[in-house]
Each structure stands twice: as C-alpha cells, then as structure tokens.
C-alpha cells in the first residue's frame, strides 16, 4: 500500500471538541485594505497554488503553507507592534495553535492505528478475499463503491479509496477504461461516505470538534450522502462491461493480533466519544488513552512472541509447510513507535500551515468580510452550496476552517449542509479531494484529471440531488439553532 494510506486518517477520524469555538476571530485593527493585509493575501494564494501543483512540482504540500503561515503572522505581529498592541496577536495565535494541537494529536493516534492494521495485513487480506472470488466487472464496480462508502466513515475517505483502488488495479490490470471508471466511482463513494461521520473526513471532524453538531446528528446526512454516491454510480454502471476477470489464488495470512488491534481501534473511538458525550471532556483525551491501549497490547505481543513462534513452527513442521516456515523465520516484534513514525507527517504539518494561515487572515479581518458577504448578504443555503462547489478547486479543509472561523449564525440544518457540500463537492474534480489526488498518483496515467472531468456533469447531478434530499428530508433541523 502507498505510504499516503495514512493521510488524513482519518483524515478519518474523530476529534470533537469544545463547547465554544476557539478559532481566532478578527482583531481590533482591520487590515483588509492595508499593504500588509494585501501582501498576506498574495502570499497565501501563491502558497496554495504551489500546494495544488504538488503532483507536478514534486514539492511537498507542507513546505509552502508553513512558510506562508510564518509570513502572515509576522506581518500581523509587525503591525500590532507599531500600534503598541503586542499581546493581542499572541493570544489569537495561541488560540489557533490550541485547535491545531488537539487535531494533530487526534489524527496522530488514528494514523498509528491505521498503520498498525496495515502492518498486520488487514487491508491486504480484504483485497485478496475480493480478488479470489472472481467477481464480474459490474459486481466489482458496485462492491468497491459500496465498500468505499461504508468503510470511509470509520477508516477515512483517503485510506478507503487507496485500498479499493488497489483491489481494482489487481483484478483489472491493463483495462484502463474500467480502472478509470472504477477510480471515479471510488472517489465519489469515499467522499460521500466520509460526509455522514465525524471520522470520515477532516471537515466533519472539525465541525464536530467545534461542538456545532452532535455525534448522532451527523447520521441525518446518511441518505443525502447515499444519493450523492448512488445516482452517478447507477449512471456510470451502464458503461461497465459485464465480463469476468481472471481469478487469483493469492492467500494472505493475517499477522498475529490483527483482529484484536481492530477491536482496540473501535474501543478507542468509543472512549473518545464517551469522553465528550458523558464526561464533557475533549475527545482527544480518549484517543490518547487509546494509544495507551495499543502500547500495552504491543508489549503483550512482544513478550509472548517467542512462545507463539515456537508453537507455529511446530505446526508448520508437522504439516511440512516450508513456505510458512520461511515466513515465520522473518517475523519481527510489533513496535508501536515504528507505526507512529510512519504517520504522514507532511500531512500533519500541512494542516498546521493551513490552519495558521487561515487563522492569521481571519485575525486581519478577511474572514469577517467574507462572512458578511456570504452569510449576511446571501442566504446561508446558497452560500453553503457555493462553498461546496468551491471545495472542488480549493481543498475542503481551508474552506471549512474559514467557515468555522467566521462563526456565522446558522441552524443545525445549515451546518449539516456545509458539512455535506464541503465533503462531496470535492468529487466534481479529481484534484478536489485528497482521495482523488492520491488515486491519480496510485493509478498514474490510467485515472487522470480529464478522465474524471468528462463525468463531472453526472457527478454534479448527484451533488444537486443530495442537497435537495437534505433540504427536504431534514427540513425540521433548519429551524434548530
């Protein structure tokens, strides 16, 4: 599996939060029309252009936003020093940094668990099981799509998309048309599935972290998300040949403790939810406790490894299984910290840069100005729909963080609407979501920007339908604040 498999884990997973959002609000000095403000805006736009060109430039996405964040806050600090108001930028910076710190620790634990499951071969076993069954192309198309839709709420949309893409490429190697169509289907399904769970995407995680939507309220988006995936998938399925690929006899043996680590992961999620729901504490507390669960289990695996290996070697000798004997000879102890080290640090640093950039621009007054245009002069429904379309070009993370920083006075229905649109809007373009960008790298030359673009009208139908279903099905929530 690609190293990017841990990106965003979460990029699926869970962080809830504070009863009152602590994002940096606009400062007392309006810098939107000043020279430092203009420079900061240009720096951010230029940095984001470099981020969007990551695949072409081979420049890690964290580098430009880290520098941009430093420049933006340096400009803020310089202006306030000139005005003799040195304490305010520091306080605003610390507020934003606190939000990032909780998010970073939460994602780090989630990434560690996903990496542990990958190392224990859980994902390889799922892929091998699907390949062995010899499903038809049409069945594989629907199966990978539905699995992406239902796995992404737990394992995050990027991880799920990479796993399903690996299955498709293994089964249909050489059939570029089918692989491209399946990749589009997987991206749509993974993004849609990630929209109705706090664990499915960074944007849902951020909304939950801000305490704006309860854990159970996200599930009101299940049917709109299913419509968002199902409608374009139904249309695309008519263009899939109903033939069978060659079956495979690949056998994948799970490593010791794989199922128990999966159980500990679910227990960790339950602990994080309980921390917020029952104890009114930040969920990151539960996630860090969950890291402790994994460390204790890793200790157990190391201490019992010699006895386990001796038993398995005896069984292999009696069965005359030389291949298994060879595998057992290369077994190394499970190491939790090696899983921590394999976390996608570029992604974590990218989140820092984006959050600090948006926080700095918000303190300068840009987000207050945007909020006035979008949520005062416009109807919030139209504003949230447009922001969802914007997320197809600009990553949904800065879009959602900007909305949270603006803190518009919206109903629960509107907060769920922006969660839905920001999550699924990225499916319109291959570069609109982390899942799409990752698959372009994994299926390079097969799944392409233009290959995805020609299906954009069909995907747009799913986007419009999901919004209309949410407005109709959850209309009672638009009056709840």
SS3 readout for 327-355: HHHCCCCCCHHHHHHCCCHHHHHHHHHHH
**For residue 7, what pLDDT is reported?**
34
Rg (CA), the chain: 23
Which band of pLDDT confidence, cut at 50, 70 and 90, is reported for residue 22? Answer: very low
Higher pLDDT: 94 or 247? It is: 94
Give the mean model confidence (pLDDT) for residues 184-189: 94
Q: Which of 237-246, 263-272, 402-411 has the lowest mean pLDDT?
A: 402-411
pLDDT tens digits, one per residue of 266-317: 898 888 878 877 887 887 898 899 999 999 998 998 888 887 777 766 766 6
Q: In sequence order, what are the residues at sequence separation of 6 or more whose Cβ sits closer than 8 angstroms to the Cβ of residue 197?
A: 152, 153, 154, 204, 218, 219
The 3-state DSSP class for residue 11 equals strand
- Measured CA to CA in angstroms, residue 334 lies from 2, 95, 295, 329, 439 at distances of 20, 38, 10, 15, 29
Alpha helices in 365-433 (DSSP H): 366-372, 380-390, 396-406, 412-424
Q: For residue 49, how far is the Cα from the chain centroid?
A: 21
Which band of pLDDT confidence, cut at 50, 70 and 90, is reported for residue 17? Answer: very low
CB 269 within 8 Å of CB 321: no
**For residue 343, what pLDDT is reported?**
67
Q: Which residue has the tokens 């430009």?
A: 64
The 3-state DSSP class for residue 12 equals strand
The 3-state DSSP class for residue 10 equals strand
Q: For residue 104, how far is the Cα from the chain centroid?
A: 13
Give the mean model confidence (pLDDT) for residues 395-409: 74
pLDDT tens digits, one per residue of 24-49: 457 888 898 899 999 999 999 898 88
Q: What is the mean pLDDT of the chain?
A: 80
- Which secondary-structure segment (H or E) carries 325? helix 322-329
pLDDT tens digits, one per residue of 311-323: 766 766 666 666 6
CA 294 to CA 300: how far, in whole Å?
A: 10
Q: What residues does 11 pair with on adjacent strands?
A: 9
**For residue 18, what pLDDT is reported?**
29
CA 13 to CA 454: how far, in whole Å?
A: 31
The residue among 379, 365, 264 whose CA lies nearest residue 31 is 365
Give the predicted TM-score (pTM) of the model: 0.69
Q: How many C-beta atoms surround the C-beta of residue 174 within 10 A?
A: 9
CA 391 to CA 388: how far, in whole Å?
A: 5
In this structure, what token pair is assigned to residue 368? 């207050």
Dihedral pair phi/psi, residue 9, rounded to 5°: -35, 105
**For residue 331, what pLDDT is reported?**
57
């Amino acid at each position: 599996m690609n190293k990017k498999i841990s990106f965003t884990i979460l990029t699926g997973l869970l962080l809830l939060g504070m009863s009152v959002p602590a994002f940096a609000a606009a400062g007392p000095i309006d810098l939107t029309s000043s020279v430092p403000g203009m420079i900061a805006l240009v720096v951010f736009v230029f940095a984001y252009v470099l981020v969007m060109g990551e695949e072409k430039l081979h420049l890690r996405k964290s580098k430009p936003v880290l520098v941009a964040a430093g420049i933006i806050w340096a400009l803020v600090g310089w202006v306030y020093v000139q005005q003799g108001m040195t304490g305010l930028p520091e306080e605003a910076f610390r507020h934003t940094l606190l939000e990032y710190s909780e998010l970073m620790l939460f994602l780090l634990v989630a990434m560690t668990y996903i990496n542990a499951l990958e190392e224990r071969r859980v994902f390889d076993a799922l892929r091998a099981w699907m390949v062995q069954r010899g499903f038809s192309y049409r069945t594989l198309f629907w199966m990978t799509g539905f699995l992406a839709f239902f796995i992404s709420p737990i394992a995050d949309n990027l991880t799920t998309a990479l796993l399903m893409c690996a299955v498709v490429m293994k089964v249909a190697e050489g059939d570029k048309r089918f692989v491209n169509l399946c990749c589009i289907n997987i991206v749509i399904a993974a993004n849609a599935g990630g929209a109705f769970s706090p664990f499915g995407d960074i944007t849902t995680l951020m909304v939950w972290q801000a305490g704006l939507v309860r854990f159970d309220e996200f599930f009101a988006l299940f049917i709109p998300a299913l419509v968002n995936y199902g409608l374009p998938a139904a249309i695309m399925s008519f263009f899939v040949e109903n033939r069978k690929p060659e079956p495979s006899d690949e056998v994948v043996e799970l490593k010791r403790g794989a199922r128990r680590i999966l159980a500990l992961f679910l227990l960790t999620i339950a602990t994080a939810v309980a921390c917020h729901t029952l104890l009114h504490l930040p969920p990151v507390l539960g996630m860090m406790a969950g890291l402790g669960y994994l460390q204790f289990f890793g200790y157990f695996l190391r201490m019992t490894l010699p006895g386990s290996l001796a038993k398995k070697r005896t069984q292999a000798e009696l069965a005359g299984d030389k291949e298994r004997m060879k595998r057992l000879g290369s077994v190394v102890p499970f190491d939790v910290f090696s899983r921590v080290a394999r976390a996608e640090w570029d992604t974590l640093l990218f989140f820092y840069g984006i959050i600090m950039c948006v926080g700095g621009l918000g303190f300068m007054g840009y987000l207050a100005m945007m909020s006035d245009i979008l949520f005062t002069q416009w109807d919030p429904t139209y504003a949230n729909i447009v922001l969802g379309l914007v997320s197809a070009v600009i990553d949904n993370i800065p879009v959602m963080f900007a909305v949270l920083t603006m803190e518009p006075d919206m109903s629960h229905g509107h907060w769920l609407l922006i969660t839905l649109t920001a999550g699924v809007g990225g499916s319109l373009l291959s570069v609109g979501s982390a899942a799409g960008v990752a698959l372009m790298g994994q299926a390079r030359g097969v799944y392409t920007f233009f290959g995805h673009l020609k299906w954009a009208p069909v995907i747009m139908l799913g986007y419009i339908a999901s919004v209309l279903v949410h407005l109709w099905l959850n209309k009672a929530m638009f009056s709840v604040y």
